[in-house]
């Protein structure tokens, strides 16, 4: 039996990143196939390629054994592939039926043929066992029902292969059950489903086959009956990567950064950072572990100065900088490697040498009095280029042209060579290739032994355990644990990160996964 | 593959040249459709422009257009769309002319300086209003400046011009004419050093010098000063600029004040060396033309100068076409539109080619070095 979909050697590059690197995938007809991977592993890009929204740079795609080139979603639909996006694309003011036929209305003599539409709608609903009133206004529907409308929309267009992009992300548990029931029904009626998810328990429950993506590559295709969630997590994070161990301790007893009782409120006055205290000494790397969205970014923003803390003190070498401007803090020696280098770290359309000045433009060698020092800036940029191995034809190209790893090395270089007192490194190796990752680790270690105090935020637990001298765990805005990286495993960390130690009844599934 | 440097130069120069070429082609088509000979029209235009007097006309036309385009460009560099240059320059010219007319008998240099200061302050204040609305209330500057244009022209000026009119009975009432001491000397003497005497009562506006000064200052400020860097960084990427210690709201405020201040000078060639007052037939539309020229000149002071001269040439040509009858003078407006549109398209095409080139050469650099031992991993 030929596979419904076969991808061979799919590669897709964007300026700065390799989203898919030689991806191979085989989806059998009539199965539910899950694609797992961390954020940034290349899942979405792969789905966009499958749905014709983006063309791969390399590789072949076979549908039912026939080689195809999809240049638009229209092509994909014609081949029987339909996609349900994570964010619904429905018109609230129209009825279910109107939404379903929108864009592929059956017509007779130039008018929309609602009778034909209704007949076809009923046929589809019956064939796949999906029930919903076609005359309901979409704005009155629950989230789960809206999702069903999206699925019907795709089936209405004759799709037999469905791509569901993180379908459970927006659903409550009861709706997830309903969705899974529908998915099983669709499978029984002959549909093939490809779905993206990173909730491991759910994947194990529903999928017939699981393919794991990591850093744009397919690392494994497994049978859910033969693996547990722990195995999957390991495949996703990849613990066999080069280890980022630091070696002998260089921690001194001079405190560089002292955060005391810092609280940051969100727009609704709820604390997103809740009474956080921590100390970082010179020569020490303090790692923050936590599931994304537990206040790490807000804590970092409060230290760097883009968010104003509502309570608490932040002292840098004994001086309270909690309410200083970002520029004053930068000048006082706070260096920052942002979590999203393209949006917060770089001027993508400006030349490299101007990027090297960003954040340091008020000081030599980047400026002289009120003037920009172009010669000094360029000289410093060349230094960064050679000592941080930034691979670029010259320093006048725009930052856009560099690969993600080289962009990151440029940012790290500019931050570290400014002789900072404190370095905040937020996900410093996210989305960069293994070689650049090792280089970044190397530079972090070197700065540490030169006496730099570093705050490291990372989703890569091996990176945190390997590099940090102390690990703190952040959960719902609070620091819930301080751990010694020498006697903690990623699994222990996972338990703290999801709040399992609190005996919380809402423990997310990932936590159950890591405890197995 | 050609040499990269040559390729870059060809790309940079190629865009505007192909835009003009395309514009000429399309305009010719319009002329043919309207039953005129494109050749005859172009010959008339060029012959006319080669006369010294027309040259003076072109410079006089280009001067306010240049200042207006620089005002728009200051906003563009910050990703601010200051549509309000129009209202800002009209309001500034009105107040400056009123103040200039009110003070009679001041020492000449002081009188002119006073008028210039008033115009800059009024322009800056009026644009600053839009800036303040944006930073405190998040109101899009496009909306607020359009509204402020209406308020300036149809509201403030229409009301005050009647209150302050020199002669309320006149059909074209306006502010009190400015004394001799408040008028900018013409540059005829300067130009005549190089050529013959300028006839037909043409006077080259002294404000041309101010325009040149504005252009040089703009270049130095944006490209050479620290705060200019902050400006551009904010325009490129406000989030990254903010993390780099640049306060985004303050930058928006500065940009609007500067853009408005320069906009205030747009009406000065009219006030100081032509009309000497603000009346109901005061020249309008320079603000909108300035936006088009800033686009044409890619916010670059030299590019804008070329664009302003081109527009000045087209404006000066519309008269001769009417006189010779070789084409309808409205063709000039059509040509302006076509030129700007083709330029925008050509720039975008070139931008894409350049990006691709850069990405390719960066990828080559990476691969070339990858074949060497990977010292980074050591």
Among residues 233-292 of chain B, which lie with CB inside 8 Å of chain A?
A: 233, 236-237, 239-247
Cβ A438–B358 below 8 Å, yes or no?
no
Cβ B226–A362 below 8 Å, yes or no?
yes
Instruction: Give the domain CATH number at A108.
Output: 3.40.50.300
Asked whether residue A90 falls in the same domain as residue A212, the answer is yes
Phi/psi at A134 (nearest 5 deg)?
A: -65, -15
What is the largest distance, in Å, between two alpha-carbon atoms of chain A?
Answer: 84
Rg (CA), chain A: 26
Residues of A with Cβ-Cβ distance to B228 under 8 angstroms: 372
Q: What span, in angstroms and rounded, lies between the C-alpha atoms of A30 and B263?
A: 67
Asked if residue B56 lies in contact with residue B191, where contact means CB atoms within 8 angstroms, the answer is yes
Cα dist from B61 to A368, B45, B211, whole Å: 39, 16, 12
Confidence bin at B3 (pLDDT 50/70/90): low
Asked if residue A164 lies in contact with residue A193, where contact means CB atoms within 8 angstroms, the answer is yes
User: Which of left, alpha, beta for A237 (phi over 0: left; psi -120 to 50: alpha)?
Assistant: alpha
Domain count, chain A: 3
Average pLDDT over residues A462-483: 90
Average pLDDT in chain A = 85
Asked whether residue A74 falls in the same domain as residue A36, the answer is yes
Compute the 3-state secondary structure of chain B and give helix, strand, coil in percent, each to the nearest 5.
75, 0, 25
Give the β-pairing of A285-289 and A453-457.
parallel
Q: How many helices (H) and strands (E) does chain B have?
A: 16, 0
Asked whether residue A315 falls in the same domain as residue A462, the answer is yes
Average pLDDT over residues A63-88: 87
- Concatenating the DSSP letter of every residue in A107-137 gives EETTEE-HHHHHHHHHHHHHHHT----TTSB
Mutual angle of helices A114-128 and A173-188, in 10-degree steps: 90
Find, among A185, A207, A274, A244, the residue nearest to A490 by Cα: A244
Torsion of CA A91, A97, A100, A104, to 10 degrees: -110
Instruction: Tell me which of B3, B228, B244 to substitute to probe the interface with A (most A C-beta atoms closer than 10 Å).
Output: B244
Cβ B244–A330 below 8 Å, yes or no?
yes
The complex's ipTM works out to: 0.83
Q: What span, in angstroms and rounded, lies between the C-alpha atoms of A278 and B66?
A: 57
Find, among A330, A285, A275, A281, the residue nearest to A305 by Cα: A330
Confidence bin at A256 (pLDDT 50/70/90): very high
Is the pLDDT confidence value at A38 over 90? no
With H, G, I as helix, E, B as strand and everything else as coil, classify residue A19. Answer: strand
B196 touches A: beta carbon within 8 Å: no
Asked if residue A515 lies in contact with residue A491, where contact means CB atoms within 8 angstroms, the answer is yes
- pLDDT attached to residue B325: 79
Distance from CA of B122 to the nearest CA of A (A): 27
Nearest CA in chain A to B245: A327
Residues of B with Cβ-Cβ distance to A330 under 8 angstroms: 244-245
Nearest CA in chain A to B238: A344
Asked whether residue A117 falls in the same domain as residue A13, the answer is yes
Average pLDDT over residues A15-27: 81
Q: What span, in angstroms and rounded, lies between the C-alpha atoms of B131 and B236?
A: 19
Residues of B with Cβ-Cβ distance to A325 under 8 angstroms: 245, 247
- pLDDT attached to residue B237: 92
Confidence bin at A14 (pLDDT 50/70/90): confident
Asked whether residue A361 falls in the same domain as residue A220, the answer is no
Nearest residue, CB atoms, A435 vs list B233, B359, B376 = B376
Distance from CA of B143 to the nearest CA of A (A): 26
Nearest residue, CB atoms, A400 vs list B225, B358, B377 = B358
Asked whether residue A231 falls in the same domain as residue A358, the answer is no
- pLDDT attached to residue A292: 74
Q: What span, in angstroms and rounded, lies between the C-alpha atoms of A401 and A413?
A: 18
Q: What span, in angstroms and rounded, lies between the C-alpha atoms of A99 and A93?
A: 9
Is the pLDDT confidence value at B151 over 80? yes
- pLDDT attached to residue B169: 65
Average pLDDT over residues B54-62: 93
Average pLDDT over residues B270-296: 91
Confidence bin at A501 (pLDDT 50/70/90): low
Residues of B with Cβ-Cβ distance to A303 under 8 angstroms: none
Distance from CA of B354 to the nearest CA of A (A): 10
Instruction: Tell me which of B138, B361, B362 to substitute to probe the interface with A (most A C-beta atoms closer than 10 Å).
Output: B362
Q: For residue range A311-326, list pLDDT tens digits in order.
A: 999 999 999 999 999 9
**Better-scored residue on pLDDT, A43 or A137:** A137
For residue A281, give every residue at least 6 positions away whose Cβ sits within 8 Å of its Cβ, in sequence order, or none: A251, A252, A253, A254, A255, A256, A453
Asked whether residue A206 falls in the same domain as residue A348, the answer is no
Distance from CA of A305 to the nearest CA of B (A): 8
Cβ A435–B374 below 8 Å, yes or no?
yes
Residues of A with Cβ-Cβ distance to B226 under 8 angstroms: 361-362, 367, 370-372
Q: What span, in angstroms and rounded, lies between the C-alpha atoms of B257 and B75?
A: 10
Cβ B377–A438 below 8 Å, yes or no?
yes
- pLDDT attached to residue B372: 38
Give the angle A158-A162-A164 at the CA atoms, nearest 5°: 140
Cα dist from B257 to A370, B97, B125, B304, B337, whole Å: 19, 21, 7, 21, 29
Any domain includes A242: no
- pLDDT attached to residue A238: 66
Asked if residue A444 lies in contact with residue A425, where contact means CB atoms within 8 angstroms, the answer is yes
Asked whether residue A411 falls in the same domain as residue A451, the answer is no
Asked whether residue A371 falls in the same domain as residue A438, the answer is no
Asked whether residue A222 falls in the same domain as residue A360, the answer is no
Residues of B with Cβ-Cβ distance to A349 under 8 angstroms: 236
Asked if residue A443 lies in contact with residue A474, where contact means CB atoms within 8 angstroms, the answer is no
Nearest CA in chain B to A14: B359
- pLDDT attached to residue A19: 79
Cβ B240–A350 below 8 Å, yes or no?
no
Among residues 5-44 of chain B, which lie with CB inside 8 Å of chain A?
A: none
Q: What span, in angstroms and rounded, lies between the C-alpha atoms of A197 and A195?
A: 7
Any domain includes A288: yes
Cβ A15–B369 below 8 Å, yes or no?
no
Nearest CA in chain B to A360: B244
B230 touches A: beta carbon within 8 Å: yes
Instruction: Tell me which of A362, A365, A433 to substitute to probe the interface with B (most B C-beta atoms closer than 10 Å).
Output: A362
Share of chain B above pLDDT 70, in %: 93
Any domain includes A243: no
Q: What span, in angstroms and rounded, lies between the C-alpha atoms of A30 and A209?
A: 11
Distance from CA of B244 to the nearest CA of A (A): 4
At which of A359, A391, A419 does a domain end? A419
Confidence bin at A167 (pLDDT 50/70/90): confident
Cα dist from B195 to A238, A358, A501, B317, whole Å: 79, 50, 90, 22
Phi/psi at A266 (nearest 5 deg)?
A: -90, -175
Any domain includes A32: yes
Q: Please report, in angstroms and rounded to a whole number, the separation of the first and last CA atoms in chain A.
A: 36
Nearest residue, CB atoms, B245 vs list A344, A359, A367 = A359
Give the angle B218-B219-B225 at the CA atoms, nearest 5°: 90
- pLDDT attached to residue A251: 84
Read off the tokens for A489. Answer: 């495993």
Is the pLDDT confidence value at B376 over 60? no
For residue A496, give every residue at least 6 positions away whose Cβ sits within 8 Å of its Cβ, in sequence order, or none: A289, A473, A475, A480, A481, A483
- pLDDT attached to residue B163: 81
Confidence bin at A502 (pLDDT 50/70/90): low
- pLDDT attached to residue B272: 93
Asked whether residue A17 falls in the same domain as residue A155, the answer is yes
B109 touches A: beta carbon within 8 Å: no
Residues of B with Cβ-Cβ distance to A338 under 8 angstroms: 240, 243
In sequence order, the β-bridge partners of residue A409 are: none
- pLDDT attached to residue A510: 38
Nearest CA in chain B to A405: B366
Q: What count of Cα atoms within 13 Å lies in the side-chain half-sphere of residue B31?
A: 23
Nearest residue, CB atoms, A391 vs list B232, B366, B377 = B366
Give the β-pairing of A107-108 and A161-165.
unpaired
Confidence bin at A241 (pLDDT 50/70/90): very low
At which of A198, A218, A237 does a domain end? A237
Cβ A361–B226 below 8 Å, yes or no?
yes
Q: What span, in angstroms and rounded, lies between the C-alpha atoms of A516 and A229?
A: 7
Q: What span, in angstroms and rounded, lies between the C-alpha atoms of A207 and A36?
A: 11
Confidence bin at A216 (pLDDT 50/70/90): confident
Task: Please return the burial class of A293, using the count of CB atoms within 10 Å of its CB with bins 0-12, 13-18 and 19+.
Answer: exposed
Find, among B303, B297, B271, B323, the residue nearest to B90 by Cα: B271
Average pLDDT in chain B = 87
Asked if residue A86 lies in contact with residue A166, where contact means CB atoms within 8 angstroms, the answer is yes
Instruction: Tell me which of A326, A373, A441, A446 to substitute to probe the interface with B (most B C-beta atoms closer than 10 Å).
Output: A326
Average pLDDT over residues B49-55: 88
Distance from CA of A292 to the nearest CA of B (A): 20
Distance from CA of B235 to the nearest CA of A (A): 9
B3 touches A: beta carbon within 8 Å: no
Nearest residue, CB atoms, B226 vs list A349, A370, A389 = A370
Instruction: Tell me which of A321, A393, A402 to substitute to probe the interface with B (most B C-beta atoms closer than 10 Å).
Output: A393
Distance from CA of A93 to the nearest CA of B (A): 28
Q: What span, in angstroms and rounded, lies between the C-alpha atoms of B357 and B5?
A: 12
Domain carrying residue A300: 248-326+422-516
Nearest CA in chain B to A375: B224
B362 touches A: beta carbon within 8 Å: yes
Distance from CA of B77 to the nearest CA of A (A): 12
At which of A400, A419, A438 does a domain end? A419
- pLDDT attached to residue A1: 62
A-to-B residue pairs, Cβ atoms closer than 8 angstroms: 123
Instruction: Tell me which of B226, B354, B372 to substitute to probe the interface with A (most A C-beta atoms closer than 10 Å).
Output: B226
Nearest CA in chain A to B364: A393
With H, G, I as helix, E, B as strand and everything else as coil, classify residue A271. Answer: strand
Structural domains of chain B, ranges and CATH numbers in brackets: 51-352 (1.10.3470)
Asked whether residue A194 falls in the same domain as residue A340, the answer is no
Asked if residue B214 lies in contact with residue B116, where contact means CB atoms within 8 angstroms, the answer is no
Alpha-helix runs per DSSP H in A64-199: 73-78, 96-101, 114-128, 143-156, 173-188
Residues of A with Cβ-Cβ distance to B243 under 8 angstroms: 304, 306, 326, 336, 338, 344-345, 359
Residues of A with Cβ-Cβ distance to B240 under 8 angstroms: 338, 343-347, 358
């Amino acid at each position: 039996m030929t596979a419904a979909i076969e991808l061979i050697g799919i590669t897709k590059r964007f300026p700065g990143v390799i989203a898919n690197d030689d991806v191979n995938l085989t989806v059998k007809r009539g199965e539910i196939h899950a694609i797992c991977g961390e954020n940034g592993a290349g899942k979405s890009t792969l789905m966009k390629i499958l749905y014709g929204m983006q063309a791969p740079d390399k590789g072949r795609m076979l549908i039912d054994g026939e080689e195809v080139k999809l240049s638009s979603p229209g092509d994909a639909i014609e081949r029987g592939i339909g996609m349900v996006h994570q964010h619904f694309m429905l018109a609230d003011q129209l009825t279910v039926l109107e939404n379903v036929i929108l864009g592929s209305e059956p017509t007779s003599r130039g008018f929309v043929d609602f009778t034909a539409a209704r007949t076809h709608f009923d046929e589809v609903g019956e064939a796949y066992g999906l029930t919903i009133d076609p005359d309901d206004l979409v704005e009155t529907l629950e989230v789960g029902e809206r999702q069903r409308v999206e699925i019907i929309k795709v089936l209405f267009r004759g799709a037999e292969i469905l791509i569901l992009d993180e379908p459970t992300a927006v659903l409550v548990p009861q709706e997830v059950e309903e969705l899974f029931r529908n998915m099983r029904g669709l499978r029984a009626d002959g549909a093939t489903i490809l779905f993206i998810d990173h909730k491991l328990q759910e994947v194990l429950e529903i999928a017939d086959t699981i393919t794991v993506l990591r850093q744009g590559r397919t690392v494994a295709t497994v049978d859910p009956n033969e693996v547990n969630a722990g195995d999957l997590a390991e495949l996703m994070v990849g613990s066999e990567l080069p280890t980022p161990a630091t070696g002998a301790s260089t921690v001194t007893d001079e405190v560089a950064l002292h955060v005391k009782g810092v609280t940051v409120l969100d727009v609704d006055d709820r604390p997103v950072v809740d009474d956080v205290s921590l100390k970082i000494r010179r020569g020490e790397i303090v790692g923050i572990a936590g599931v994304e969205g537990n206040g790490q970014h807000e804590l970092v923003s409060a230290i760097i100065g883009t968010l104003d803390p509502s309570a608490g003190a932040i002292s840098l070498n004994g001086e309270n900088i909690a309410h200083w401007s970002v520029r004053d803090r930068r000048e006082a020696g706070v260096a920052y490697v942002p979590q999203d280098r393209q949006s917060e770290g770089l001027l993508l359309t400006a030349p490299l040498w101007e990027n090297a000045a960003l954040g340091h433009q008020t000081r030599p060698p980047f400026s002289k009095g009120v003037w920009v020092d172009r010669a000094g800036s360029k000289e410093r940029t060349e230094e960064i280029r050679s000592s941080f191995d930034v691979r670029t034809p010259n320093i006048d190209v725009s930052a856009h042209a560099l690969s993600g790893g080289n962009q990151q090395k440029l940012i790290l270089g500019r931050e570290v060579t400014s002789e900072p007192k404190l370095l905040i490194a937020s996900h410093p190796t996210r989305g960069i290739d293994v070689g650049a990752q090792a280089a970044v680790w190397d530079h972090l270690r070197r700065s540490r032994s030169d006496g730099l105090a570093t705050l490291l935020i990372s989703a890569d637990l091996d990176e945190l355990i390997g590099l940090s001298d102390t690990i703190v765990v952040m959960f719902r805005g609070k620091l819930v644990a301080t751990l010694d990286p020498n006697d903690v495993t990623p699994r222990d960390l996972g338990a703290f990160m999801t709040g399992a130690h609190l005996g919380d009844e809402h423990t997310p599934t990932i936590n159950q996964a890591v405890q197995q | 593959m050609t040499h990269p440097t040559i390729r870059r130069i060809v790309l940079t120069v190629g865009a505007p040249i192909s835009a003009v070429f395309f514009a000429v082609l399309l305009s010719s088509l319009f002329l043919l459709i309207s039953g005129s000979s494109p050749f005859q029209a172009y010959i008339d235009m060029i012959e006319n422009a080669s006369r010294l007097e027309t040259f003076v006309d072109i410079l006089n036309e280009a001067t306010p257009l240049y200042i207006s385009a620089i005002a728009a460009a200051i906003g563009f560099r910050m990703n601010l769309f200051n549509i309000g240059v129009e209202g800002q320059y009209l309001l500034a010219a009105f107040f400056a002319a009123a103040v200039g007319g009110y003070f009679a008998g001041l020492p000449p240099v002081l009188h002119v300086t006073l008028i210039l200061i008033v115009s800059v302050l009024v322009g800056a204040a009026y644009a600053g209003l839009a800036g303040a609305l944006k930073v405190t209330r998040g109101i899009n500057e496009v909306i607020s400046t359009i509204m402020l244009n209406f308020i300036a022209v149809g509201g403030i000026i229409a009301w005050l011009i009647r209150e302050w009119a020199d002669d309320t009975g006149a059909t074209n009432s306006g502010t009190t004419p400015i004394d001799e001491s408040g008028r900018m000397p013409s540059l005829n003497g300067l130009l005549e050093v190089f050529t013959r005497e300028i006839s037909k009562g043409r006077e080259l506006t002294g404000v041309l010098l101010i325009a040149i000064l504005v252009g040089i200052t703009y270049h130095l400020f944006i490209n050479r000063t620290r705060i200019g860097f902050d400006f551009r960084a904010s325009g490129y990427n406000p989030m990254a600029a903010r993390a780099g210690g640049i306060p985004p709201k303050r930058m928006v405020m500065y940009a609007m004040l500067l853009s408005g201040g320069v906009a205030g000078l747009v009406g000065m060639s009219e006030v100081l060396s032509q009309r000497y007052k603000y009346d109901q037939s005061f020249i309008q539309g320079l603000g909108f033309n300035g936006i088009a020229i800033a686009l044409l000149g890619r916010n670059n002071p030299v590019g804008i100068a070329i664009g302003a001269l081109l527009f000045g040439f087209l404006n000066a040509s519309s008269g001769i076409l009417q006189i010779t009858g070789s084409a309808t003078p409205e063709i000039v407006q059509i040509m302006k539109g076509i030129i700007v549109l083709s330029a925008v398209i050509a720039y975008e095409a070139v931008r894409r080619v350049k990006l691709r080139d850069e990405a390719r050469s960066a990828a080559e650099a990476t691969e070339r070095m990858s074949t060497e031992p990977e010292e980074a991993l050591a």
